[in-house]
Structure 1
Amino acid sequence: MISLILISVSSSAQNAILKGVILNENNTPVQGANITYKDTGTQSDKNGVYQLTIPTNQEVEITISHISLKNMQFTVNLEENQEYELNPILKNDIEQISEVIISGRERKVVEGITTLDPETIRTTPSANAGVEGLLKSLPGVSSNNELSTQYSVRGGNYDENLVYVNEIEIYRPFLIRSGQQEGLSFVNTDLVRNVDFSAGGFQAKYGDKLSSVLDITYKRPTRLGATADFSLLGGSVSAGGISKNKKMAAIVGARYRDNSLLVDAKKAETNFQPRFADIQTYLSYNFSNKFELGFLGNVGINTYDYEPLREQVNFGTLQTVQALTVLYEGQEKDKYETYFGALKGTYRATDNLTLKLIASAYHTQEQEYYDILAAYALGTVNTDIGSENLGEVEFSEGIGSQLTHARNDLDALILNLEHKGTYIADKHQLDWGVKYTSEDIRDRLQEYEIIDSAGFSIRPPLFDFVNNQPYSPFATPIVPFTNTRAINNVKIDRISGYAQYSIRSTIKESEIWANIGVRAHNWNISGSTVNSADSQIVFSPRAQVAIKPDWESDMIFRVSGGLYHQPPFYRELRDSLGVVRPNVKAQQSIHVVLGNDYSFSMWKRPFKLTTEIYYKKLTDVNPYTIENVRIRYRARNNAEAYAQGIDLRLNGEFVPGTESWVSVGYLKTEENIDNRGYISRPTDQRLKIGVLFQDYVPTIPSLKMYLNMVYQTGVPGGSPSYANPYNFQTRLRDYRRADLGLSYVLVDKDKRLREGHFLNVFRELNLGFEIYNIFNNQNAITNTYVRDAASRRQFSIPNYLTPRVFNVRLGMKF
């Protein structure tokens, strides 16, 4: 069946939409204006609103005319499925002619930004569907946990990525330890209009992080509409509309997710009750053609109740299969509540000058409570095919138990006030900004772990300890394997800013773009539980240059980089024992990125090959360990590191009318801790291959297929708590995963049923079937270390991720 689905067929080209409101110089909507290109066009309605469908990836000359006003002419170049809003003002006295004033690709290609289609994001199958799920198919982006929205980019960790929604910085909860606790990403894909991603070498206007930028733009509706999506994993609904005078626009979305389907498919027997829900809105109001006020709000309430019962994990070789059998008592109760609100005012002072003021508040209240007793037995599995006890544990080689306890609470309030400005004059552009941030964190950390192996309590491996029984009596107190207790009240005040200059010019017949800028960041840490520390300041110069030679081939060459800093956030200040170290310095990295974009035609269809070679030299590195998705820092800046690699991505219409891509990335990243020599970092993902493929059945064009595949070589598998990372460099097995989605379109704009049919109330209606991990690969996220008292050996037992899972989806638009 899959081979039939993969057959290529021809299809019509993708379109883009140009829309907006036409006004005159008195800020009055213009009715009956003609918006045309070639022999196609439309008219604005009584409210001045228009919408025009145009071809993509080519320069289209648009003319706007009215019998009583002067014509306006300009050229646009938009991407597939892009919706671009333009609100022109027709004047009374002069002819208005512009060069290419809108480009959906040019600026982003020059800046090395990858643009993702929101519709592709919504349709691509993934166990944790959304923007982050699609990012993981790009080169340089990796994640070994399909239940997590976290990702690492070019050797960085999860805390090194910037996320913006409508230019507003987004934060994530602090305490989450595992992917299955995360639930929902902040980004609601039902509300998304545009997605831009940069994997490095980004401009000074973006914030102070070391790895990447994810820049999301939410929709501003131009009509009344609604969507709904339901599956066995939960559902989402959204609605949006605009007022009659076109000044007020609003969109709101609500989501609910339940990971039980994925967790119950695992071999562990559990009582599992996750409840992840949020509601999000974006409102905007145009007070005039010069001033717009927007509001972004989000409320998320995630509860995670987990009661493990029994689990058996088989490992070893075909000749010797061993098993870890665990019986559990106890439960875990976690709760994460987040509240976020932001106001954004945009004032277009003149045609050249735009001023913005952004104020935001983020409040998170988190609790992590658990008491779980695990009694385990390590044994050999019966592999005799003719035996009645095939697959059962024959005898135990080691027994033991583990008790884990936590009472962790965190309350954080983060306030931001930011001003941004942009001035454009001909081919020159100046951007600047200044931002104040106040962070107030109140944290109680209380957790311990007791390990018993064959009747002996295991001591922490923090120092040499000799048990000389029976020759000497054992007089040392018994202590937990790990024990962390801390109460931290921390305040961090930050002032940051940037200034950058951009120019577009020509050298002979070649086009050239250049950008140069600098960021500065000052921070001060105080609080009743921390020692006073001097304020710190860092400066980050950055630059980009791109050139498009006057060649017959369509190529753009880029070089970008600079000095990047990451001033420590609260997680980076707290060491593995829970102690806050206010003197932790900003990690810094020198980036150099060389890039090339080659656009060409193949099979009479458009394709683009993007290549980037990068090198990062890091100093004042803050070493860390990763436990599932929980990062624990050493908070000592006692390491240096580097990351180097190459990313390639070929995207285009492998099947006419659909975008697909193949990506390949090679990475090597190592660190040197305390001058002991270089070892692999926890994110050292050497080889990454990602494939996103979209197709439809030739004889049934309403039946579509989406295939998302990832192959990644294994990363270092971590180590027991507080162990020496130099002694634990064994890698996890390679990560292999393929998710398949089939969708049948019942109704859309090109497929209407007979007049009066009840399904015609839908603008779009589709029924989907998804198979996650179709080849049922056993992927592991970490290792559990168990000791055998008889052989005095320590076994690393993989913690497996989700197996093959089936899901059904129903999507609709009104």
Structure 2
Amino acid sequence: MYGVILDENRQPVEGVNIYYADIEGTIRTVSDRTGFYRIELPVNRKVIVWFEHISFRLSSVENISLQANDKFEFNLLMVSGYQEITGVVIESDTGKRRVEGLTAISPDVIRNIPGANAGVENIIKLLGGNSNNELSTQYAVRGGNYDENLVYVEDVEIYRPFLIRSGQQEGLSFTNTAMVENVDFSAGGFQARFGDKLSSVLDITYRRPVRFGAALEASFLGGSLTAEGVSKNGKWNAITGVRYRDNSLLVNSQETQTNFRPTFADIQTMVNFNPNEKWELSFLGNISQNKYHYQPLSRQTNFGTVDDPIALQIVYDGQEKDEYETYFGAVKSTYKVSDNFTLKVIGSVYHTQEQEHFDILAQYALGEVDTNIGSDTFGDIRFARGVGSQLNHARNNLDALIVNGEVKGLHNIKKNQVEWGFKYTREDIRDRLVEWEVIDSAGFSLNPPRIDLPVNDQPYNPYFGPLVPYQNVRATNFVEINRFSGYAQWSRRAKLGTADIFMNAGVRAHQWVVSTRGANGNSQVTFSPRVQFSIKPAWEKDMLFRLSGGFYHQPPFYRELRDSLGIVRPNVKAQQSIHIVLANDYSFKLWNRPFRLVSEAYYKKLDDVNTYTLENVRIRYRANNDAVAYAYGLDVRMNGEFVPGAESWLSFGYMRTEENLNDRGYIARPTDQRLKFGVLFQDYVPNIPSLRLYLNLVYNTGLPGGSPSYADPYQYQLRLNDYRRADAGFSYVFVDGKKQYPQGHWLSKFRELALGLEIFNLFNNQNAITNTWVRDVYTKTQYGIPNYLTTRVFSLKLNVRI
């Protein structure tokens, strides 16, 4: 149990005695100068917690009953009069999440985890998500792709940019870590109250300030500044964050020498108004501007064997200028009609303007490397096996406006809980694609694959066919989509003999119509019934079993409607998944400290699958629903205090996912990542407890991504090498919640002050995200040259909170 204690003027109260009486004695703690307190409570029995201060009258909270590993926040306003809060039965959010299959992630863990893209998404890759790209915030969950994950912030669905093709272009994710209060994550089998996606749900709640505060974070990769406060009458509170990021440090560590000038910045604010105890009105706004300017200069990649070393040398000309501007605003009204009925009305608008403009000429030479150490040309190509060039051009522009209106209700009827909701969405997208690629090898133009053209085997025989680009995409789309969706679900806690049980059943419905200037699609409707059942036997061991599943549908979003040639297919069907999850949740003590072990086995049967190719983070769909697929696997994770006072996580996963395209047989899907292993470990030096270590280890087996993007997947089932990465953070903590300084000391002004060193890719592993394919003219062999991600990088980091 923890929280903040304030007086009638909303000022923190220091020195409040917080205690409860137990059969083993009285357990006490004291609030610090910020009014913050934390106290450990016994599990599975009701206690009374008292708040005592010489300047205020006694206060208490009765009937607090928590389960193992539960965390309950209680913020108290102390007044000059006897205040006893009686008859309050506390059902912790952690216990509720446990039976619903949601994983709660501590904001402190999120802030401390090291990584090239530190934040909420970074730790999700340890829990149920997979990723082989540290430059990307995107994640795939249990065989799905990046477009199959729901993200909510304050009950509002969040969207990602449309034109992003590379992780280094993404900049900032929507979620501002410094503003986060609660993070819940489900890797599958989630309830009907969540939306229509196939894979996962990330549900984020922002903090409601109770006092003035500010936080600063700065590093060589950028920084953020967050400020929060509350009005004198306590009815208004607000929190605002400004962020800036520059990926130059990471990108300049790659093999390609560049002039790289990125600017990723955003401002985000949440304002809450509480006119009375029953009503809260909130506004959440975000403005983001990402400018990605990229001018490659040269590259050399060495590969081959010791006996036959080969190198690819490339000289570039041209540049890329991408810009992504997004504007987001949402208003939410929460009204407590009665003690048993809560009503929410939500409206949101999302507007994005994106451009992707580039002209890049790459002239390459592929050949044998001079390995003579004494040679003036050591390391250079001495004999060229292949020469050629590649010209890429794009003038892609997109403007999208998405408007949502939603009503939600929650009813508590004795031991039953009924939830319902209705939502209208209008999507208006204007999109122009002009993109082509020309390739020549030894001066001869290459024809595109899979096209009815005469065979071009120059220079051996003359070619009389037409000269066409290797790839050519031209399309202009004006698309309007109107959607109506809704859900209703019922939940109940009960007893089955001596065991506690939890039941949930619900259904979602979704209707949509896609309209284009050329044609209007058919009206389509889906129904998605879902159920959950959890049982906690009355055993000495704190163990819970959970079975969940149902029919999950994903009506196509705009990118899923657009085929590989950029043409919108308005009648693309919703992908359907029959999803079953069987889980065991075991809470126990090890070394007299709390731990939790969660095991989940899952199976998905997918129909009307919209197959796709994946290159870096760019997804191109075939938009024809001509495949079936399946996924199954096992996820095991354990978290607890391996070191006293520091939470760490271990995770292991096995997965297999395959698809069958037009009855040609089952092959691996682009996200078929068989094994993964992740560790988030926190430690400190025993003799110097202020010196702390944060270690983030990831091992994933290779994805099917080594073949050319145009290749027939039934002929090319190549995989990238395994992904291995270790990020470490070393931090010296001058001030935190456990250390106190006397008034007048220069450190007494800070709630937190830490200075650290981060080492990304600690062991300098070479991880590849794609391959560049180059032809050898003499042997007619194609070589796949890995496109490596970042190497070892050092950065300093400063954290300040007041």
Give the TM-score band, short-chain normalised: over 0.9
The equivalent residue for 2:634 is 646
How far residue 43 of structure 1 moved from its aligned partner, in angstroms, is 12
Q: Write the distance in 2 (CA, Å) between the matches of 1:550 and 1:83.
A: 23
TM superposition score normalised by structure 2: 0.93
Q: Write the distance in 1 (CA, Å) between the matches of 2:388 and 2:194.
A: 51
How far residue 769 of structure 1 moved from its aligned partner, in angstroms, is 0.1
Structure 2 residue identity aligned to 1:653: E
Matched residue of 1:758: which SS? coil
How far residue 68 of structure 1 moved from its aligned partner, in angstroms, is 11
How far residue 471 of structure 1 moved from its aligned partner, in angstroms, is 10
Does residue 1:54 correspond to 2:42, yes or no?
Answer: no
Q: Write the distance in 2 (CA, Å) between the matches of 1:594 and 1:469.
A: 58
Q: Write the distance in 2 (CA, Å) between the matches of 1:381 and 1:674.
A: 45
The equivalent residue for 1:26 is none
Aligned counterpart for 1:662 among listed residues 646, 650, 671: 650
Structure 1 residue identity aligned to 2:2: A
Matched residue of 2:563: which SS? coil
Structure 1 residue identity aligned to 2:196: D
Q: Write the distance in 1 (CA, Å) between the matches of 2:42 and 2:555.
A: 40
How far residue 751 of structure 1 moved from its aligned partner, in angstroms, is 3.3
Aligned counterpart for 2:20 among listed residues 18, 23, 37: 37
Q: 1:668-683 to 2 correspondence within 5 Å?
A: 668-683=656-671
The equivalent residue for 1:480 is 469
- Structure 2: 5+ residue runs without aligned partners? 10-14
Does residue 1:265 correspond to 2:253, yes or no?
Answer: yes
Aligned counterpart for 2:113 among listed residues 118, 121, 124: 124
Q: Write the distance in 2 (CA, Å) between the matches of 1:538 and 1:557.
A: 30
Q: Write the distance in 2 (CA, Å) between the matches of 1:603 and 1:242.
A: 42
The equivalent residue for 1:241 is 229
Matched residue of 1:727: which SS? coil
Aligned counterpart for 2:441 among listed residues 448, 453, 465: 453
How far residue 250 of structure 1 moved from its aligned partner, in angstroms, is 0.3
User: Contact (CA 8 Å) 2:102, 2:184: kept in 1 or not?
Assistant: yes
Q: Write the distance in 2 (CA, Å) between the matches of 1:505 and 1:81.
A: 20
Higher mean displacement: 97-106 or 75-84: 75-84
Q: Write the distance in 2 (CA, Å) between the matches of 1:42 and 1:803.
A: 47
User: Contact (CA 8 Å) 2:489, 2:507: kept in 1 or not?
Assistant: yes
How far residue 754 of structure 1 moved from its aligned partner, in angstroms, is 6.4
Q: Write the distance in 2 (CA, Å) between the matches of 1:411 and 1:703.
A: 49
User: Contact (CA 8 Å) 1:397, 1:790: kept in 2 or not?
Assistant: yes
Q: Write the distance in 2 (CA, Å) between the matches of 1:367 and 1:715.
A: 29
Matched residue of 2:39: which SS? strand
Task: Give the 3 Å change call, closer, same or farther, for CA 19–563 of structure 1 in structure 2.
Answer: farther
Aligned counterpart for 1:443 among listed residues 423, 428, 431: 431
How far residue 55 of structure 1 moved from its aligned partner, in angstroms, is 1.8
The equivalent residue for 1:16 is 2
How far residue 87 of structure 1 moved from its aligned partner, in angstroms, is 7.8
Task: Give the 3 Å change call, closer, same or farther, for CA 611–334 of structure 1 in structure 2.
Answer: same
Q: 1:189-338 to 2 correspondence within 5 Å?
A: 189-338=177-326
Task: Give the 3 Å change call, closer, same or farther, for CA 705–81 of structure 1 in structure 2.
Answer: farther
Residues 473-521 of structure 1: CA distance to partner in whole angstroms, max 9, x if unpaired?
Answer: 6432100000001110000000000000000001111000010000000
The equivalent residue for 2:714 is 726
Work out which structure has the larger RCO, using CA pairs closer than 8 Å and 6 or more positions apart in sequence: 1
Structure 1 residue identity aligned to 2:346: I
Q: 1:400-411 to 2 correspondence within 5 Å?
A: 400-411=388-399
The equivalent residue for 1:777 is 765
Matched residue of 2:98: which SS? helix
Does residue 1:717 correspond to 2:717, yes or no?
Answer: no
Matched residue of 1:136: which SS? helix
Aligned counterpart for 1:580 among listed residues 529, 554, 568: 568
Matched residue of 2:134: which SS? coil
Task: Give the 3 Å change call, closer, same or farther, for CA 301–83 of structure 1 in structure 2.
Answer: farther
- Percentage identity across paired residues of the two chains: 60
The equivalent residue for 1:357 is 345
User: Contact (CA 8 Å) 1:18, 1:83: kept in 2 or not?
Assistant: no
How far residue 757 of structure 1 moved from its aligned partner, in angstroms, is 3.7
The equivalent residue for 1:560 is 548
User: Contact (CA 8 Å) 1:482, 1:721: kept in 2 or not?
Assistant: no
How far residue 74 of structure 1 moved from its aligned partner, in angstroms, is 2.7
Task: Give the 3 Å change call, closer, same or farther, for CA 54–707 of structure 1 in structure 2.
Answer: same
Q: Write the distance in 1 (CA, Å) between the matches of 2:560 and 2:683.
A: 45
Q: Write the distance in 2 (CA, Å) between the matches of 1:468 and 1:69.
A: 91
Residues 66-119 of structure 1: CA distance to partner in whole angstroms, max 9, x if unpaired?
Answer: 9999976231538979572568999x9x99754742313211111111111111
The equivalent residue for 2:383 is 395
Q: Write the distance in 1 (CA, Å) between the matches of 2:68 and 2:436.
A: 54
The equivalent residue for 1:706 is 694
Task: Give the 3 Å change call, closer, same or farther, for CA 643–541 of structure 1 in structure 2.
Answer: same
Task: Give the 3 Å change call, closer, same or farther, for CA 524–700 of structure 1 in structure 2.
Answer: same
Structure 2 residue identity aligned to 1:278: D
Q: Write the distance in 2 (CA, Å) between the matches of 1:57 and 1:800.
A: 51
Task: Give the 3 Å change call, closer, same or farther, for CA 294–56 of structure 1 in structure 2.
Answer: farther
Higher mean displacement: 577-586 or 788-797: 788-797
Matched residue of 1:110: which SS? helix
Does residue 1:513 correspond to 2:502, yes or no?
Answer: yes
TM superposition score normalised by structure 1: 0.92
Q: Write the distance in 2 (CA, Å) between the matches of 1:62 and 1:497.
A: 41
Aligned counterpart for 2:611 among listed residues 623, 629, 648: 623
Q: Write the distance in 2 (CA, Å) between the matches of 1:227 and 1:221.
A: 13
Task: Give the 3 Å change call, closer, same or farther, for CA 53–115 of structure 1 in structure 2.
Answer: same
Does residue 1:175 correspond to 2:166, yes or no?
Answer: no
How far residue 755 of structure 1 moved from its aligned partner, in angstroms, is 5.2
Q: Write the distance in 1 (CA, Å) between the matches of 2:212 and 2:726.
A: 37
Q: Write the distance in 1 (CA, Å) between the matches of 2:67 and 2:153.
A: 21
Q: Write the distance in 2 (CA, Å) between the matches of 1:697 and 1:716.
A: 42
User: Contact (CA 8 Å) 1:57, 1:80: kept in 2 or not?
Assistant: no
Matched residue of 1:760: which SS? coil
Does residue 1:689 correspond to 2:677, yes or no?
Answer: yes
How far residue 21 of structure 1 moved from its aligned partner, in angstroms, is 9.3
User: Contact (CA 8 Å) 1:236, 1:253: kept in 2 or not?
Assistant: yes
Structure 1 residue identity aligned to 2:647: E
Structure 2 residue identity aligned to 1:638: D
Matched residue of 1:287: which SS? strand
Number of aligned positions between the proteins: 787
How far residue 749 of structure 1 moved from its aligned partner, in angstroms, is 3.9
How far residue 748 of structure 1 moved from its aligned partner, in angstroms, is 2.9
Aligned counterpart for 1:502 among listed residues 484, 491, 506: 491
Q: Write the distance in 1 (CA, Å) between the matches of 2:545 and 2:740.
A: 46
The equivalent residue for 2:12 is none
The equivalent residue for 2:410 is 422
Q: Write the distance in 2 (CA, Å) between the matches of 1:696 and 1:127.
A: 22
Residues 426-480 of structure 1: CA distance to partner in whole angstroms, max 9, x if unpaired?
Answer: 3210000000000000000100000001111111112353248799864321000
Does residue 1:590 correspond to 2:578, yes or no?
Answer: yes
Structure 2 residue identity aligned to 1:507: L
The equivalent residue for 1:811 is 799
How far residue 772 of structure 1 moved from its aligned partner, in angstroms, is 0.4
Task: Give the 3 Å change call, closer, same or farther, for CA 572–706 of structure 1 in structure 2.
Answer: same
Task: Give the 3 Å change call, closer, same or farther, for CA 76–511 of structure 1 in structure 2.
Answer: closer
Matched residue of 2:748: which SS? helix
Matched residue of 1:761: which SS? coil
Higher mean displacement: 255-264 or 463-472: 463-472
User: Contact (CA 8 Å) 1:615, 1:642: kept in 2 or not?
Assistant: yes
User: Contact (CA 8 Å) 2:70, 2:95: kept in 1 or not?
Assistant: no
Task: Give the 3 Å change call, closer, same or farther, for CA 520–87 of structure 1 in structure 2.
Answer: farther
Task: Give the 3 Å change call, closer, same or farther, for CA 624–392 of structure 1 in structure 2.
Answer: same
Higher mean displacement: 422-431 or 54-63: 54-63
Q: Write the distance in 1 (CA, Å) between the matches of 2:709 and 2:140.
A: 22
How far residue 784 of structure 1 moved from its aligned partner, in angstroms, is 1.1
Q: Write the distance in 1 (CA, Å) between the matches of 2:770 and 2:68.
A: 41
Structure 2 residue identity aligned to 1:77: L
